[in-house]
Amino acid sequence: MTDIICRAEISGLFVRVAALIKALAAHCSALAAGCSEGRQIATRYHDLSQLSGAELARRGLTRQSIARVALGLQCSAICEISVRLRGAVTAAPHRVRGPVP
């Protein structure tokens, strides 16, 4: 009888450990995604900050708007900003994440 109880307890323990591992993996995945997004934001900010005033104006931006655009809080005149990422020109779509102050 105690053998059956021990098996049930061990089985329940395995289920709880598996759930814990799954939750930990989900948190690690979210952390990695956040780090990746942070690097993308930093790259956009750096690339935009290197542009001249005239180049920013052509894109509908000012120096004061670079941080908001890099974070995706402000949409430019064309709602997409071309930035240089690792030598290739790509478009960075902007998502509104909150109210623009």
Residue 37 belongs to some domain of the structure? yes
Q: How far apart are alpha carbons 34 and 39 in whole angstroms?
A: 9
Q: Is 80 exceeded by the pLDDT of residue 17?
A: yes
pTM above 0.75, yes or no: no
- pLDDT 10s digits, 65-96: 898 888 887 654 434 444 444 444 444 444 44
Residue 98 belongs to some domain of the structure? no
Residue 69 belongs to some domain of the structure? yes
Q: How far apart are alpha carbons 74 and 62 in whole angstroms?
A: 12
Alpha helix (H) ranges present in 50-77? 53-58, 66-71
Alpha helix (H) ranges present in the chain? 2-49, 53-58, 66-71
Residue 88 belongs to some domain of the structure? yes
Domain span at residue 21 reads: 2-93
Mean pLDDT, residues 23-28: 96
Residue 31 belongs to some domain of the structure? yes
Q: Is 80 exceeded by the pLDDT of residue 64?
A: yes
Residue 63 belongs to some domain of the structure? yes
Q: Which residue has the tokens 């990746």?
A: 36
* Number of domains comprising the chain: 1
